[in-house]
Amino acid sequence: MLLDVREAWEFAACRIAGSQSMPMRGVPARHPELKRDDDIVIICHHGARSFQVGMFLEQMGFANIINLQGGVAAWARDVDPTMPTY
């Protein structure tokens, strides 16, 4: 699962195909919507917010957490140069 924790306006500006939006501030209330056994790749702009959300989810018992280092900025630079950036 691709979990994008950026704000709604950021998600609207650009996103990795197939990702789901759950802004960071909503994760504490909404994390029960996530499946504990899924591999969850957490995405933000540069990787800091996703790292924090990953730490929180691990504390909540999620085991398969992956932080997309460099976030969508690195994805646009290294994987999909057609992706809009901000």
In the structure, how many helices (H) and strands (E) does the chain have? 4, 4
Structure tokens at 11: 């998600």
Which of 44, 53, 65, 72 is labelled catalytic?
44
14 catalytic per annotation: no
- Provide the annotated active-site residues: 44
